[in-house]
Structure 1
Amino acid sequence: MFELYKAGDRYTANHGWLKSNFSFSFAEYYDPNNLQFGPMRVLNDDIVQPLRGFGAHPHREMEIVSIVLKGQLKHEDSTGETAITTFGGIQRMSAGTGVVHSEVNPSATEEVNFLQLWFLPEKNGLTPSYERTEFDTNRLKNQLLPVVSKQRGEQTAYIHQDLTIYLSDLDKGKEISLQQEQGRRIFFFVIEGEVTINGEWTLSKRDSARITELPELKIAANADARFMLIDLP
């Protein structure tokens, strides 16, 4: 099954200092038919203005991943962790039994655009933890690069769920393939550019797809493209 979600159909919230596009039910947006995809619960595409952000607030029993696309994102939490992330960095926080954190744009001149993803953990009651990793952006070129995974690896953030987040920069005219294991799900999100999947479905900037029961994905770039692919149980 291939379910296509167009960028313009996402719910948009504009608070002036913050503009968000929600791919799943979140905050004031509620759709009982769009609560989650497997353990994936949230994908917010956020733009935060300079020196603004999300003040200290609590979370429990959730794996939270932030991927900065442009600008800087500063994290602080009640475990004492603090970090500033730019493109090429990944933030992973396990809220576990409870944590308080903030995420703000520390720049006085530049907005920050980042993707925030929430996943249900494999089990509840984890000790809260935070991790910041960096990957070599050159390794995105025409391949799937794992940046978050339950399988520990160099430059890969660890997550308490059986999933892998891949990023890729695919040049126009190039194609890459992925075998989908039986019983697994794939969430696909175009960050920039345009791709065609299996010669049938075309996705443009910020379009997404939820894919099941396709044994192989052939991803071809119609224009230079950057995308995120998540392999999920």
Structure 2
Amino acid sequence: MIHIIPSDDRPSVDLGWLQSHPSFSFGEYYDPENTGFSVMRVCNDDVLVGGRGFGPHPHSDMEIVTIVLNGAVRHEDNLGNTEVVSAGQVQRMSAGSGLIHAEYNASETEELRLLQLWFMPAERGLTPSFETCSYPQSGLKNSLLPVVARDRKEGVAGIHQDMTVYLSRVGAGQAVDFRQQEGRHIYVYAIEGNFALSGSRLTAGDTARISGQHELKIEAEEDSFLMLIDLP
């Protein structure tokens, strides 16, 4: 079953310095019927003005993935990590037994757009850790490129869960196929463009939650940028 959530049906948060579109209950938005999908708990599409961000705050027992779409984010945490993550890079932070971190727009003048994703770990109480990986932009073309996975390798951030995050840029008139094992779930986020997902149409900002259907065909009607997550 493919359940499409149109962009207009997702909540919108406007704090002036932050424009956010959460896909699941987050912050002041709470819907008891929309608290997650499989092990996924958060998918926020955030735009931050220059020089602003999220001050120090705690996390525990959560795998947090940040995908920078435009601009750059500056990460700081109480483990001593300070790093700037730019478009074309992915950051993975395992909060584990607990840490404090902050995230800011690294530019004083340019907007920052990022996707922030939270997942439940396979094991609680892990030692907190942090990493940043760069992926080749050429690898996105008409292909599903893994950028986060359980098994870490060059260009792929490791995560403490049986899952994989893929990114893809599918050209107009092109198609990409995806197949997974039965009994798993798929989450799709339309970042840009317009494409058909096994017959269901998605445009920018739409999401899809898929269960019981383990083969997908992505057919782009125009140049499209998307994220697909293979979940347990």
Runs of 5+ unmatched residues, structure 2: none
Residue matched to 2:228: 229
Given residue 147 of structure 2, which amino acid in structure 1 is its aligned partner? V
TM-fit CA distance, 1:86: 1.1
- Rounded to whole Å, the distance in 1 between the matches of 2:58 and 2:75 is 13
| RMSD (Å), alpha carbons | 0.7
- Rounded to whole Å, the distance in 2 between the matches of 1:88 and 1:133 is 9
Q: Is the 8 A contact 1:180 1:217 kept in 2?
A: no
- Rounded to whole Å, the distance in 1 between the matches of 2:26 and 2:86 is 25
Residue matched to 2:67: 67
- Rounded to whole Å, the distance in 2 between the matches of 1:152 and 1:20 is 30
Asked if 1:2 is matched to 2:12, the reply is no
Q: Is the 8 A contact 1:145 1:166 kept in 2?
A: yes
Residue matched to 1:77: 77
TM-score of the aligned structures, taking structure 1 as reference length: 0.98
User: Following superposition of structure 1 onto structure 2, how do residues 5-154 of structure 1 map, counting pairs within 5 Å?
Assistant: 5-154=5-154
TM-fit CA distance, 1:2: 0.8
Residue matched to 1:205: 204
TM-fit CA distance, 1:217: 0.3
TM-fit CA distance, 1:181: 1.4
TM-fit CA distance, 1:8: 1.2
Report runs of 4+ in structure 1 exceeding 4 Å deviation: none
TM-fit CA distance, 1:180: 2.7
TM-fit CA distance, 1:231: 0.1
Q: Is the 8 A contact 2:45 2:114 kept in 1?
A: yes
Runs of 5+ unmatched residues, structure 1: none
Q: SS of the counterpart of 2:12?
A: strand
